[in-house]
């Protein structure tokens, strides 16, 4: 009974096309970003390269660098700073993933063993630091003070978001509002910065950089809401099948915040036992999925994501209608409807 | 028999005076640095402030910020950037200490429980990240591109040094040369940068910034050589008494590199068993100290430190003779002769 949803292959294929559109729009530049990333992790200490590449090659979606490149294109940017910035945001993201896996004691990410599983926490902590320092070298190379300020503040905000999340683990006094605040810091801020810098390097009027900022932050909110939902929305797919990481780690994310609030006494006792008291037994994750399903939470969370997606779309409306705008609008739908 | 050296109280008091001199020279500005540090770790998440202050208040020597302030004074600097830079280098240092303690699984630092012992690795990793991000915010606020470049490269170099050190743990193929390379990255680089930026913000000719760079790197080498020596140079002092952290962690530092090379078969077998094979038993640390003592290693390492100290002193010679120069020259002697 953990398999709540079957893949609607046609719908998923349609959705996948929207992601492919974005990929095609930026593919030429994205190849340059990947080259720059490889160049930057090249090191006289082979260990650094091995650990960094393990994660970088594991095939993340590269959504942040792609948003950065597409936003710069939307702003008619013609220089090369977008390549460096795209690599920079991916480095910030990758550094935090390495540290996240230490913090969460995770064994798997993107279907492969985590760096901390293979090389121990020590390597993940230090190589994460290394990638963070490289992201700073990249942002400095841009030589534009407003970009530098936003990026460094973003790194700081992101880390504060991670800390806030850590502190809400196993804690059902966490409200939906505080959850939204946390994902704004830990996820949406880097999305918004990735988009906003595209306008800043293009020296576009403030109305455009603000618009991309608003687009990015709302897209990021939708992204994380769906990400947290997917952890409970098990699907019949070999690669996409979830094993309830968040549940096992006692993370208090939106699905269980709502489930706790909507639940009857029996359900609340279940959440208290499994999450707050950390007393889990076999079959608990399936039970959790059932409770979430029973309370119609998946559809309602999807609607929450649609809400943020709508705000994101409206923010882009001031831009003239053209290919880049269409792709960025479509990516909102992709993110809201994705199953992976 | 672990107590190899008795404190020579008079000599130590004399030495302490040299440190006090530096402290007095910069005390007015150092108070401002401490205020800025407190302001920067103030956060809406109380946990961040608690963890950060735990380490910041534990009473490090603040040697790096003091060097930064004194170097700026030596260059007749009249602005306020030195305060921000001094806080910045202390933040970089503190962030790496937090991560170091995770990497080394340490329980004690500066005589108190480490943050990871009290709050777990998670807090140390993330609050370390937070402090690193704050150091970047500080360096950016200086708005001087050459300073920014050097500081960000320093952070990156420092982390690479930490990684290199991690990789030499338990490995007796580490030579004195590779040890020197590692401490140059992990310690001396931040010392040299702390000094060099004093000249850069003063817009002094290159000959002066290079001189301070050379002074700092050699002082930093001496500092780390003595630091590693002190781990084996147990002394009859309640606060200063060492418990052989490096030995227990299998760190291949200079005292045991030389001891291994100079040792006879019995001694080499001892080092292989305890460090390489990690098979330690009660009394091994005392035995290690005895072997180091027997091979006259403490005096010879002291001479190595004196060598780097001499280069540091000569580097400063191009500066006119005045109080600041004298204090910086004296601090070399303090560092080489310190017992804590």
First-to-last C-alpha distance (Å) of chain B: 20
Are residues A163 and B132, on separate chains, in Cβ contact within 8 Å? no
Q: What are the chain A neighbours of B181 within 8 Å (beta carbons)?
A: none
User: Cβ A129–B132 below 8 Å, yes or no?
Assistant: yes
B2 vs A107, higher pLDDT: A107
Residue of A nearest to B134 (CA): A156
Q: Report the DSSP beta bridge partners of residue B75.
A: none
B45 touches chain A (CB under 8 A): yes
Q: Mean pLDDT throughout A158-179?
A: 94
Cβ distance B160 to A125 less than 8 Å, yes or no, reads: no
Residues A168-176, mean pLDDT to the nearest whole number:
94
Q: Would you say residue A235 has pLDDT above 60?
A: no
Cβ burial of B12 (10 Å; 0-12, 13-18, 19+) is middle
> What letters, b where the CB count within 10 A reaches 16 and e where it falls short, cover A35-64?
ebbeebbebebebbbbbbebbbebebebbb
In this prediction, residues A272-281 reach a mean pLDDT of 96
Contact B331, B19 (CB under 8 A): yes
Q: What is the CA radius of gyration of chain A?
A: 20
Number of domains in chain A: 1
- Look at residue A256 and give its three-state secondary structure: helix
pLDDT at A323 over 60: yes
Residue B157 CA: distances (Å) to CA of A43, A125, A317, B184, B190: 11, 15, 45, 9, 9
pLDDT at A93 over 60: yes
Q: Which residue of B has its CA nearest to A46?
A: B164
For residue A250, the model assigns a pLDDT of 94
CATH number reported for the structural domain that contains residue A62 in this entry: 1.10.600.10
Pairing assessment for the beta strands A112-113 and B112-113 based on DSSP bridges: unpaired
Residue A274 domain-assigned (yes or no): yes
Q: Does any domain span residue B229?
A: yes
Q: pLDDT tier at B8 (50, 70, 90 boundaries)? A: low
- Higher-confidence residue of B56 and B243: namely B56
* Option in B45, B163, B166 nearest A164 (CB): B45
More reliable by pLDDT, B3 or A250: A250
Inspect the interface and report whether the beta carbons of A126 and B159 lie closer than 8 Å: yes
| Nearest CB neighbour to B140, from listed A48, A128, A149 | A149
Mutation for B interface: A122, A174, A251, most B CBs within 10 A: A122
Q: Which residues in chain B have Cβ-Cβ distances shorter than 8 Å to A92? A: none
Count of CB atoms situated within 10 Å of the CB of A206: 10
CA A186 to chain B, closest CA, distance in angstroms equals 12
Domain membership of residue B6 (yes or no) is no
Q: What's residue A299's pLDDT?
A: 94
Tell me the shortest Cα–Cα distance from A176 to chain B, in angstroms.
Answer: 18
Q: Are A27 and A102 in contact (CB under 8 A)?
A: no
* Nearest-by-CA chain B residue for A134: B156
Which pLDDT value is given to residue A59?
67
User: B48 to chain A: which residues are within 8 Å by CB?
Assistant: 160, 163
Hey, what long-range contacts does B51-56 have (CB within 8 A, 24 or more apart)? B51/B98, B51/B115, B51/B119, B51/B123, B51/B124, B51/B127, B52/B94, B52/B127, B52/B130, B52/B131, B54/B112, B54/B115, B54/B118, B55/B94, B55/B97, B55/B98, B55/B109, B55/B115, B56/B94
Closest chain B residue to the Cα of A147, Cα to Cα: B140
The percent helix, strand, coil of chain A (3-state, each to 5) is 75, 0, 25
The pLDDT of residue B127 is 93
Q: How far is A82 from chain B (nearest CA, A)?
A: 20
Tell the residue number behind the tokens 């400095």, with chain if given.
A140
Helices A9-41 and A115-141 pack at an angle, to 10 degrees, of 70
A-chain residues within 8 Å CB-CB of B132?
129, 132-133
CA atoms within 13 A on the CB side of A65: 31
Number of neighbouring beta carbons within 10 Å of residue A227: 16
Q: Shortest Cα distance from A168 to chain B (angstroms)?
A: 12
**CB distance from B48 to chain A under 8 Å?**
yes
What pLDDT is recorded for position B242? 54
Check pLDDT > 50 for residue B274: yes
* Mean pLDDT over the full length of chain B: 91
Residues of A in contact with B186 (CB under 8 A): none
**Which pair of tokens denotes residue B163?**
């990684």
Reported as a single tens digit per residue, the pLDDT across B121-179 is: 888 999 999 999 999 999 999 999 999 999 999 999 999 999 999 999 999 999 999 99
Whether residue A252 lies within 8 A of chain B, CB to CB, comes out as: no
Residues 116-135 of B with CB under 8 A from A: 121-123, 125-130, 132-134
Which chain A residues contact residue B136 at CB under 8 A? 136, 152, 155-156
Q: What is the pLDDT at residue A187?
A: 98
Most A CBs within 10 A among B43, B123, B129, hence the mutation to make, goes to B129
On chain B, the residues whose CB falls within 8 A of the CB of A153 are: 137
**What pLDDT is attached to residue A8?**
67
User: Residue A235 sits in which domain range?
Assistant: 18-331
* Predicted local distance difference test score (pLDDT) of residue A238: 45
Would you call A145 and B143 a contact, using CB atoms and an 8 Å cutoff?
Answer: yes
Query: CB-based contact (8 Å) between B148 and chain A?
Result: yes
Tell if the CB–CB gap between B140 and A121 is shorter than 8 Å.
Answer: no
Share of chain A above pLDDT 90, in %: 79
Dist. CA B157–CA B172, nearest whole Å: 24
Interchain CB distance below 8 Å, A140 and B134? no
Any alpha helices (H) in A63-184, and if so which ranges?
63-74, 81-104, 115-141, 145-168, 176-183
Could A163 and B125 be called an inter-chain contact, meaning their C-beta atoms sit closer than 8 Å?
A: no
Q: In angstroms, rounded to a whole number, what is the distance separating the alpha carbons of residues B115 and B50?
A: 10
Instruction: Please tell me the predicted confidence (pLDDT) of residue B155.
Output: 95
List the single residue in B with minimal CA-CA distance to A123: B163
The ipTM value here is 0.87
CB pairs under 8 A between A and B: 112
Mean pLDDT (whole number) for B80-99? 96
Task: Report pTM.
Answer: 0.90
Q: Give bridge partners of residue B26 from the DSSP assignment.
A: none
Residues of chain A contacting B149 with CB distance shorter than 8 Å: 140
Report CB contact under 8 Å: A121, B103: yes
Domain assignment present for residue B51? The answer is yes
pLDDT at B152: 94
Contact assignment for A156 to B130 by CB distance below 8 Å: yes
The pLDDT tens digits for B245-261 are 899 999 999 999 999 99
* Measured CA distances, A101 to A49, A111, A127, A128 (Å): 18, 13, 12, 10
Interchain pair B137, A148: CB under 8 A: no
- Would you call B156 and A149 a contact, using CB atoms and an 8 Å cutoff? no
How far does Cα A128 stand from its chain's mean position?
17
Q: How confident is the model at residue A261 (pLDDT cuts 50, 70, 90)?
A: very high
Shortest Cα distance from B301 to chain A (angstroms)? 27
Q: In this model, does residue B11 exceed pLDDT 90?
A: no
Is the Cβ of A50 closer than 8 Å to some Cβ of chain B? no
Is A317 a residue whose pLDDT tops 90?
yes
Residue B5 in domain: no
Q: Please tell me the predicted confidence (pLDDT) of residue B339.
A: 82
In the 3-class helix/strand/coil scheme, how is chain B assigned residue by residue? CCCCECCCHHHHHHHHHHHHHHHHHHHHHHHHHHHHHHHHHCCCCHHHHHHHHHHHCCCCCCHHHHHHHHHHHHCCCCCCHHHHHHHHHHHHHHHHHHHHHHHHCCCEECCEECHHHHHHHHHHHHHHHHHHHHHHHHHHHCCCHHHHHHHHHHHHHHHHHHHHHHHHCCCCCCCHHHHHHHHHHHHHHHHHHHHHHHHHHCCCCHHHHHHHHHHHHHHHHHHHHHHHHHCCCCECCCCCCCCCHHHHHCCCCHHHHHHHHHCCHHHHHHHHHHHHCCCCCCCHHHHHHHHHHHCCHHHHHHHHHHHHHHHHHHHHHHCCCCHHHHHHHHHHHHHHHCCC
- Domain assignment of residue A3, yes or no: no
Residues of A whose CB is below 8 A from B123: 163, 166
Name which residue leads in pLDDT, A128 or A7. Answer: A128
From chain A, pick out residues whose CB is under 8 angstroms from the CB of B103: 121-122, 125-126
Question: Are B166 and A103 a contacting pair at CB < 8 A?
Answer: no
| Closest C-alpha to B296, from B240, B233, B205 | B233
What b/e readout covers B290-322, taking b as 16+ CB neighbours within 10 angstroms? ebbbebebbeebbebbeebbebbbebbeebeee
């Amino acid at each position: 009974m953990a398999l709540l949803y079957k893949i609607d292959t046609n719908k998923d294929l349609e959705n996948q096309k929207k992601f492919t559109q974005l990929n095609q729009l930026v593919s030429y530049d994205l190849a340059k970003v990947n080259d720059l990333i490889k160049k930057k992790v090249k090191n006289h200490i082979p260990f650094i390269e091995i650990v960094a590449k393990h994660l970088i090659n594991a095939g993340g979606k590269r959504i942040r660098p792609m948003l950065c490149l597409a936003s710069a294109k939307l702003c008619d940017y013609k220089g090369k700073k977008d390549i460096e910035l795209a690599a920079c945001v991916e480095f910030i993201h990758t550094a935090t993933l390495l540290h996240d896996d230490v913090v969460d004691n995770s064994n798997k990410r993107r279907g492969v063993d985590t760096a901390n599983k293979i090389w121990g926490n020590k390597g993940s902590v230090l190589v994460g630091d290394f990638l963070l320092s490289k992201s700073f070298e990249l942002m400095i190379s841009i030589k534009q003070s407003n970009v530098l300020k936003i990026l460094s503040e973003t790194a700081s905000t992101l880390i504060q978001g991670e800390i806030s999340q850590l502190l809400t683990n196993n804690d059902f006094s966490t409200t939906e509002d505080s959850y939204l605040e946390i994902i704004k810091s830990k996820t949406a801020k880097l999305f918004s910065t990735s988009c906003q810098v595209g306008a800043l390097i293009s020296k576009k009027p403030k109305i455009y950089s603000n618009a991309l900022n608003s687009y990015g932050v709302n897209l990021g909110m939708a992204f994380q809401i769906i990400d947290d939902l997917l952890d409970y929305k098990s699907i019949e797919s070999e690669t996409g099948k979830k094993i309830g990481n968040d549940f096992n780690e006692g993370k208090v994310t939106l699905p269980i915040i709502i489930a706790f609030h909507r639940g009857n006494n029996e359900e609340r006792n279940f959440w208290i036992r499994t999450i707050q008291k950390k007393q889990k037994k076999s079959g608990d994750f399936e039970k959790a999925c059932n409770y979430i399903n029973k309370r119609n939470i998946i559809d309602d969370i999807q609607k929450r994501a649609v809400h943020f997606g709508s705000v994101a779309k409206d923010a882009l409306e001031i831009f003239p209608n053209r290919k880049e705008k269409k792709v960025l609008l479509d990516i909102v739908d992709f993110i809201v409807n994705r199953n992976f």
